Amino acid sequence: MIKPIQRNLTFGVEHSFGNNIDYQQYRDIFYREVYSEGFWGRGKLIPTSFYKKVRKLSTPCRDSDCIELPSRKFEFKYIKTYDFEYLELQKLMLSKGLKESSSYDAIENEGGGHIHIGLQFLKRGKEKNLFIRNMNIFSINYPELSWIFNNPFDKDNSISLLDNSECMGVINNVCSSDKEQGIIYRDNYNTMELRFFMMHRSLEESHLHLSLAFAIYNYLYRLTKKGTKLYMQYTDYDQFPKTYAQACRNAIALFNLLGLSEEEITTIKKTRFKYMKQRFEHDKYYKKRELLC
């Protein structure tokens, strides 16, 4: 796994479990309804013992059609604690028959496995603005990240910044991105959030996603410290790669640029490129570009 430049860099991961979970199902998993004698109407919701076990590790909420279990904020040097807590959450959810959300087929409203990377090592002002500017342009220049790592049926979590008219001004740092974009700056958390990841399905896959997230952070951090500006390769969807083969070449060049290992690149090619291929073979996607981002 690629290590971040700062060993005490903070990160967090949004785990999501289940498929087509409605409010009643969510409530039944975590709460029981208690009525007082002679009470009419809705009773009082009491957390179950299961909720209390989960609550020691995460704060559950219903997100899209899944159950989101965000991790705590960790420093990279405590990644083994992150590993332990994820496996404990996985064990608890499996006891209720709930797998990681991306383990199901053809999910359109998957919560995803989004990753937050802390930006505490960047000075506010010009340095922070340069990092955010480069981050925005990086996300536009490499649409392959969303095509490879996002659920191919997900049209909500990883749309290109080119879809945001305000963000055509990213050159001048006048971009107000929102939760639909693939990589965004979250001012309230002071993090870079990478939203193009569908939910990891194992600890090994989580480590692969984290390795890529840290590699992107390292790359943008080094550019920022050098005062280097990125520039947009694309200004319109029609300029994006037209073929799967070209998109593959672009992706591999990017992974080499970021310093991923040969083993990591091989794993991505074997397990993830099929999702990008699925997008290019989808007529509606290819002709109307509705699933492009």
pLDDT tens per residue across span 235-259: 888 888 988 999 999 999 999 999 9
* In-domain check, residue 52: yes
Model pLDDT, residue 236: 84
Task: Determine, yes or no, domain membership for 277.
Answer: yes
Distances in whole angstroms, Cα of residue 125 to Cα of each of 129, 149, 173: 6, 32, 11
Q: Is the pLDDT of residue 291 over 50?
A: no
Distance separating alpha carbons of residues 195 and 215, to the nearest angstrom: 15
- For 45, phi then psi, to 5°, come to -85, 125
Q: State pTM to two decimals.
A: 0.91
Phi then psi for residue 194, to 5 deg, are: -100, 105
Tokens of 215: 């590699």
Range of the domain at 127: 10-34+42-288
pLDDT of residue 63: 83
pLDDT bucket at 193, cuts 50 / 70 / 90: very high
Using DSSP's 3-state secondary structure scheme, residue 60 falls into coil
Assigned domain for 3 exists: no
Domain CATH for 210: 3.30.590
Alpha carbon 22 to its chain centroid, in Å, reads: 22
Number of domains in the chain: 1
Compute the distance between CA of residue 144 and CA of residue 247 in angstroms, rounded to an integer. Answer: 6
Digit-coded pLDDT (tens) for 3-12: 999 999 999 9
Residue 293, domain member (yes or no)? no
pLDDT at 33: 81
Q: Is residue 5 part of a domain?
A: no
In a domain? residue 253: yes
Residue type at position 71: S
Contact status, residue 10 vs residue 217, Cβ threshold 8 Å: no
Question: Span 40-65, mean pLDDT?
Answer: 88
What does the longest C-alpha to C-alpha distance in the chain come to?
71
Query: What letters, b where the CB count within 10 A reaches 16 and e where it falls short, cover 49-69?
Result: ebeeebeebbebebbbbbbbb
pLDDT in tens, 275-286: 899 888 875 554
**Is 76 a member of any domain?**
yes
Given its phi and psi angles, is residue 63 left (phi above 0), alpha (psi -120 to 50 degrees) or beta?
A: beta
User: Own/partner pairs for 172-175, CB < 8 Å, 24+ apart?
Assistant: 173/129, 173/132, 173/133, 175/132, 175/136
Distance CA 152, CA 44 (A): 41
Instruction: Please indicate, yes or no, if residue 161 is contained in any of the structural domains.
Output: yes
**Residue of higher predicted confidence among 173 and 183:** 183
Number of helices followed by number of strands (H, E) in the chain? 10, 9
